[in-house]
Homo-oligomer: A and B are copies of this chain.
Amino acid sequence: MDIATILGIISGFGLIVFGIGFGKLGNFIDPQSLAITIGGTLAVMVAGAPGEILKAIPKHMKIAIGGKKYDPKFYIELIVDLAQSARKNGLLSLEARAEEIEDVFLKDSVLLIVDAIDSDKVKQLMEEELNYLDERHARAFGFYELAAGTCPAFGMIGTLIGLVNMLKGLNIEGGGAGDIGPAMSTALITTFYGSLFANVVFFPIANKLKVRHAEEMLCKQMIVEGILSIQSGENPKFIKEKLISYLSEAEKADLAESAQ
A interface with B by C-beta (< 8 Å): 4-9, 11-12, 14-16, 18-21, 24, 27-28, 32-33, 35-36, 39-40, 43-52, 54-56, 68, 104, 125, 128-129, 132, 135-136, 139, 146, 150, 153-154, 156-158, 160-161, 163-178, 180-182, 184-185, 188-192, 195-196, 198-200, 203-208, 211, 214-215, 218, 242, 245-251
Q: In the complex, A203 Cα to B4 Cα: how many Å?
A: 24
Q: In the complex, A18 Cα to B8 Cα: how many Å?
A: 33
Please state if B150 and A170 are interface contacts (CB–CB under 8 Å).
Answer: no
The minimal Cβ–Cβ distance linking A121 to chain B, given in whole angstroms, is 9
Please state if A46 and B4 are interface contacts (CB–CB under 8 Å).
Answer: yes
Chain B residues in 8 Å Cβ range of A191: 160
Q: In the complex, A157 Cα to B9 Cα: how many Å?
A: 15
Please state if B192 and A181 are interface contacts (CB–CB under 8 Å).
Answer: no
Please state if B167 and A171 are interface contacts (CB–CB under 8 Å).
Answer: no
Known: A160-B191, A164-B185, A199-B150. Is A36-B19 also a contact (CB below 8 A)?
yes
